[in-house]
Amino acid sequence: MLSLTTSLAPLVLAGLLGWTGAVKAFGRDTARQAPKTALARMLRSSERATTMLRLTGTAELLIAAGLLAIPTNPVPGVATAVLGAGFLGYLGYGRAVAPESSCGCSAGDDTPIGWRAFARAAVVLAGGATVTVARGTWWPTLRDRPAAALALLAGAAVVLIALSADLDRWWLLPLRRTRLRVFGHPLLGTAGRGRVPVAASVELLENSLAWQAAAPVVRSALLDHWEDGGWRILQYSGVYGDRAEARPVAVLFALDATAVRDTGKDPVVRVGYVDAESGEPVAVDELHAVPSRRSLPMAG
């Protein structure tokens, strides 16, 4: 089992770095995501953050190519371990100076830096160290033990998907919706002792500037909620565009899961918009065209 793992480690790492590197180096969303990352806060420039993300993505692609082509050479393994150590240092610093920002690990992750980003960076570091001392190649293993190799690669893929927050909408959100349908109404989900009721978070949200800014888009009451990395995510539905061009969106608010009205200061509230049909994030600039909602007349 150990030899199987070490021989296939370059293949797993190449898949991970190839994916995240391609998204950062060539993705159209890199420039849009860069201002939301801790990197932009560190470099004090969205443009420099975009350039750094693309350079990092290019380096990841080169390392992935080395892992695939020359897995017995220690250079790709050392480079992978150094990259993982660099990621851990960056995440630690980013968590300290800009905890509300995303890491930009795949230029598509819009959630604050959490334990999953640290765990994925640790996997890169440990995997690189393993490849550095390994002496075998991955292709004989695929040829001689195909069933065991495919099972191990499938397990590794599941772990990496679970550690990638930007893939949550494909598996975690449907899973949570299923859980809520099976076990009851969402407002009853976190009513345990010592927990902040969801209604308290909603009250804080509806008295925030973020809610006022998003109000022209929001068209529903609370539809769903969950917690991730100390944040409580509240989901509403909304519409952007006008008349025939109107399109539905999911409006997501994130605020401190422990914050209540008596906490003492207003919590930071983050807002995101996701196209309900394509699942793609909607640029905030597009939502500026949404007309303001008129107040309903009051009788009496």
**Residue 243, pLDDT above cutoff 80:** no
Q: Note the pLDDT of residue 81.
A: 94
Q: Note the pLDDT of residue 111.
A: 76
State the average pLDDT for the chain.
82
254: nearest Cα among 230, 237, 278: 230
Q: Note the pLDDT of residue 239.
A: 86
Q: How many CB atoms lie within 10 A of CB 56?
A: 22
Instruction: Flag whether the pTM goes above 0.85.
Output: no
Q: Note the pLDDT of residue 300.
A: 47
Q: Do 50 and 34 touch, CB atoms closer than 8 A? A: yes
Q: Note the pLDDT of residue 75.
A: 92
Greatest mean pLDDT among 62-66, 130-134, 215-219 lies in 62-66
Point out the least confidently predicted range of 13-17, 97-101, 116-120, 221-225.
Answer: 97-101
pLDDT in tens, 67-114: 999 888 889 999 999 999 999 999 998 888 887 788 888 756 677 888
Q: Tell me which of 9 and 108 has the higher pLDDT.
A: 9
pLDDT in tens, 118-162: 999 999 999 999 988 877 788 888 888 888 889 888 998 888 888
Q: Note the pLDDT of residue 17.
A: 92
pLDDT in tens, 158-171: 888 888 877 777 78
- Rounded to whole angstroms, how far apart are CA atoms 160 and 156? 6
Cα dist from 280 to 59, 88, 108, 109, 184, whole Å: 26, 28, 10, 12, 28
Q: Distance between the two ends of the chain, CA-based, in angstroms?
A: 78
Q: Do 38 and 98 touch, CB atoms closer than 8 A? A: yes
266 Cβ neighbours under 8 A, 6+ residues apart? 204, 208
In 3-state terms, what secondary structure has residue 102? strand
- Rounded to whole angstroms, how far apart are CA atoms 57 and 25? 5
**Residue 238, pLDDT above cutoff 80:** yes
Work out the angle between the directed axes of helices 2-26 and 74-97 (0-180°, nearest 10).
Answer: 60
**Residue 26, pLDDT above cutoff 80:** yes
Point out the least confidently predicted range of 169-183, 208-222, 247-261, 269-283.
Answer: 169-183
